[in-house]
Structure 1
Amino acid sequence: MNRGIYPILSGALAHERRMQVFANNMANVNTAGFKQDEQAFQAVFPKPHLALPASGHTAGLAQQIGARPFGPAERAFVAPHLVKTTFEPGRIRLTGNPLDLAIQGQGFFEVKTPQGTRYTRNGMFSLDNQRRLVTNLGYPVMGTKGEIKIPAGKLEISTQGDIKVDDKSVAAIKIMEFPDDQMPAKFAEGLFVSDKGTAAKNPLLQVGHIEESNVNAIGEMVKMIQGMRSYESTQKLIQTLDRMAEVAIQDVGRVL
């Protein structure tokens, strides 16, 4: 088999992985607070080695024929490296729900889950049967003094996250910030995880609004089309090399 197929195959698998990331972005284009991902890759070079064995004994003819040439290999492969998350803010949309909150600028809401403390930009909140402020998944939203319980009455939430009921302060929403080079990692269910956060000193919220996904649907569709065409190109290259090997076996060695 022509060994040139393997680098091309690694490229095809890389394009397939990118398509999976693009598809996940497109699936969450309407998910509040979702942050799009971009798959990064790295080049992989085979380790160079000598054609003759290091023992010093004379190599047999079969070993010399099968050994790679001296110096570095010419083939290069590609492999998935990491998934980068883009933390640019999404569009702010008016909902009119007094419990919907959108963070302006940097910051995350802190929530309590069975797996521990997690963070989210999705501010679609509601009250559970205990009148706790919870996410759309039912996880309690954390305040500066723990879980937030809102008694019945006239509710008012300020742009700094202070919660008042009948003009009486009952809690303050906790907003966490992270250094630009230590942003939280995606966990599951639209949540993020990190231990590098600090409480925001001057949070700014928009009440009655939510932050939409930062995925550009048109741009992501263009990326998917480009990725599909690149994947098809690798398939054609593999078919061409396979055809060349077939010709070499059937025609070149034929005795006329």
Structure 2
Amino acid sequence: MRESMYSALFGAMSNEHRLDVIANNLANASTNGYKKDNYAFHDTFQRFAHDYLVDDKPYVRAPDYWPKPYIQARPRMGGQYCDMSQGSMQVTGNSLDLALVGEGFFKVRTPEGDFLTRNGSFQLASDGRLITEQGFEVLGGGSAITLPRDIKIQIDANGVISVDGDQLGALDLTNISDPKAIEKVGRNLYQVRKGSNAAEIPAENLQVQQGYLEKANVEIVGELVNMMEAQRAFEIYQKIMTTTDSMESLVINKVGQVG
């Protein structure tokens, strides 16, 4: 099979995955606190056995005993990572809507364990527990936060919760020592990637803004441009595969007619 078929196949598969990432970003463009996924490409080199052989010649005009070293470069998806850049702020006026400015996360408790989130759209359960839109408990001091109902609540920039001047507790705000070790687990939640050496650390230079929500950091126009580019690239790779297949069929038929 021609090398153009392999190269086109790698390129088409990479752009198919790229389209999946872009589509997921666009689907979450209106999700509070969502962080878009980015991707990177690299070349995969295929080496042959003769690439490692040294062709020593007894004299200058001696024939070459081995083919010239040859390396094939095939582009493919090199990695996918979460872009943790700051999203824009939206004013809501709701005292339970909180936005984070800087690097860090809220901590929430789910039936599967404790996770991190940037989505500060909170509400009170019937028993006064502060919960997320999915019903997960928002943590403060390592446990669920319980607040009085129908009373104005103040939350300062450090996440300290007060009612009528009396402090009731503080939100658990944390950060990760290695941002590249953060992975998504769905439902707008994050965790430290298993097997990494990263750990939770105090969230420095992180501020809580009450009455605001952080919007997704997805630029719709930019993502649409990337989608069009990936679609065109995918179509080109398809054309290369189709053309290569036609050429091989023509060669096979011609060879079969010889004699």
Q: The TM-score by the shorter chain falls in which range?
A: 0.7 to 0.9
Unaligned regions of 5+ residues in structure 1, if any?
52-68
Aligned counterpart, 2:189: 191
Cα deviation 1:199-248 (Å, max 9, x = unaligned): 23554111111000000000000000000000011011111111211221
Q: Aligned residue for 1:98?
A: 95
Correspondence 1:249 to 2:252? yes
* Greater CA drift, 88-97 or 237-246: 237-246
* Structure 1 segment 1-256 matched on structure 2, within 5 A: 1-50=1-50, 70=67, 72-152=69-149, 153-179=151-177, 181-182=179-180, 184-194=182-192, 196-201=199-204, 203-251=206-254, 254-255=257-258
In 2, distance between residues paired with 1:190 and 1:18? 20
SS in structure 2 of the partner of residue 171 of structure 1:
strand
AA paired with 1:16?
A: E
Q: TM-score, normalised by structure 1?
A: 0.85
The alignment of Structure 1 onto Structure 2 pairs a total of residues equal to: 239
Corresponding letter in the other structure for 1:8? A
**Is this contact kept in 1: 2:103–2:203, CA < 8 A?**
no
Give the CA deviation at 1:151.
1.8
Q: In 2 relative to 1, CA 33–43 (structure 1 residues): closer, same or farther, beyond 3 Å?
A: same
Amino acid at match of 2:84: F
How far 1:46 moved relative to its partner? 2.5
Contact 1:160/1:202 (<8 A) preserved: no
How far residue 133 of structure 1 moved from its aligned partner, in angstroms, is 0.8
Fraction of identical pairs, as percent: 35
Q: Give how far 1:145 is off.
A: 4.9
SS at match of 1:142: strand
- Does the CA-based 8 Å contact 2:159-2:170 persist in structure 1? yes
Q: Give 5+ residue unaligned stretches, structure 2.
A: 52-65, 193-197
The corresponding residue for 2:62 is none
Shift of 1:139: 0.8
Compared CA separation, residues 255 and 87, structure 1 to 2 (3 A) = same
More strand by share: 2
Distance 1:112 1:89, change over 3 A: same
State the 1:70 CA deviation.
Answer: 4.7
Tell whether the 8 Å contact from 2:4 to 2:240 is kept in structure 1 after alignment.
no
Alignment check: 8 A CA contact 1:49 1:71 kept: no
Task: Name the SS for the 1:45 alignment partner.
Answer: strand
CA distance in 1, matches of 2:144, 2:68: 63
RMSD between aligned residues: 2.2
Q: Report the AA paired with residue 143 of structure 2.
A: G
Q: Report deviation, 1:142.
A: 1.0
The alignment's TM-score, normalised by the length of structure 2, stands at 0.84
CA contact (8 A) 1:49 1:70 kept: no
What's the CA shift for 1:47?
Answer: 3.8
Structure 2 counterpart SS, 1:46: strand
